[in-house]
Amino acid sequence: MSIGVALIVLTAALFHAVWNALVKGAEDRVIMLGLIALGHIPAGLVLVAVSPLPDPLVWPWMIASVVVHWGYFWLLNVAYRLGDLSLIYPVARGLAPVLVALVAQLWLGEVLPPAAWAGVILVSAGIMILARDAFTGALPFAGLVAALAVGASVGSYSLIDGVGVRLSGNAAAYIGWLFSAKILIVLYIFPTRMDRVRSIPAKQLLIGFAGGLVSGAAYALVLYAKTLAPLGLVSALRETSVIFAALIGVLWFREGPRGRRILASIIVSAGIVVIGANA
C-alpha cells in the first residue's frame, strides 16, 4: 500500500468520524439515518450521468451490497436503541478489519505478510479497547449481539463492494449506481414518517443531509482505495475512524475516559505505522 493510498483511506476515516460526530446528538436516529442515505444520492446521480453502465457481471454484487447496507442501517438503529453510541460503535467497527482481512485471504487469496497482519490486529485491538465496557456488563446482552451483527454487516458490505468495484472496471460507475440505489432506503424510511420529519428543526435536517454528503465522500474514497490495495488493509485503516471519533469526543465534547482513548489511539497509530511499513 502506497503512502498516497493510505492517506486517501485515512482521510475517509476522518470524514466518517466527522459525520458521526455531526449526528451524535440526534433525537430521532431513524430519520437521521434516512438523511444520511439521502445525502449519498446527489453525488450518485451525477456519477451515473457521466459514467458508462457497469459490466452486467457487477449487478449481482451491487444488489447484494444494497441489501446488506439496508440491513446495516436497520441493525444500527436497533443497536443504538439498546446501547450508547460510545459502546456500540467501537464493537461494530473494531470487529470488521480482522473479519475482512481473514475472509479476503481465504476467499480471494489476498495473503497478507505476517507484519501486515500484526498491523491489522493492532488496529482492531486498539479500537476494541474503547469497547471494553461493552463486554463487562455496561451493555445488555441484546445490545452486544446487535453491535456484533452490525460489525458482521460492515465486514460483509466491505467485502462485497471490494469485489464489485474491482469487477466493474470503472469505480465511478459502481459508486454512482450504489449511491443512487440508496433511494430505496430513503423510500423505506420517509413516506410513513413525515410527521416526525416535520417535527425536526430545519437546522437538524440540514446537518443530517450534510452528514450524508460527508459520509458519501468517505465511502467513495474507500471504494476507490479498494481498487488499489488489499481489502484487509483498506478496512483496517478505514476503521481508524473510531479513533478519530474518540479524539473528537475528548477534544470537542470533553468526553472521557481520556486515558483509555489516548491509549487506544497510540495502539492504533502503531498499527498504522506497521501497515505502512510492511504492506
Indicate the residue type of 188: Y
Determine what percent of the chain falls in helix, strand and coil, rounding each to the nearest 5.
80, 0, 20
- The answer to whether 101 touches 71, Cβ cutoff 8 Å, is no
Looking at residue 211, its pLDDT comes to 86
Residue labelled with grid coordinates 475512524: 241
Give the Cα separation of 100 and 106 in Å (integer): 10
Residue type, 156: S
Instruction: Tell me the residue range of the domain where 197 lies.
Output: 3-278
What's the confidence (pLDDT) of residue 87?
Answer: 74
pLDDT along the chain (279 residues), means of 10: 81 79 69 89 94 89 91 83 75 81 84 84 82 78 88 90 89 93 90 89 86 89 88 82 72 66 79 71
Domain count, the chain: 1
pTM (two decimals): 0.82
Locate cell 445488555: which residue? 140
Q: What is the pLDDT of residue 276?
A: 67
The pLDDT, as a whole number, for residue 110 is 82
CA distance 127 to 104: 21
Which residues are CB-neighbours of 142 under 8 A, at least 6 positions away? 82
C-alpha span between 10 and 144 (Å, rounded): 27
pLDDT (0 to 100) of residue 262: 77
Residue 176: predicted pLDDT: 94
H-type helices in 169-257, by residue range? Answer: 171-180, 183-189, 194-198, 202-226, 231-238, 241-251
| CA–CA dist 116, 114 (Å, integer) | 5
Dihedral angle sign, alpha carbons of residues 3, 5, 8, 10: negative
Cβ(234)–Cβ(222) below 8 Å: yes
pLDDT score for 253: 60
Does residue 257 have a cis bond before it (omega within 30 degrees)?
yes
111: its cell numbers:
495473503
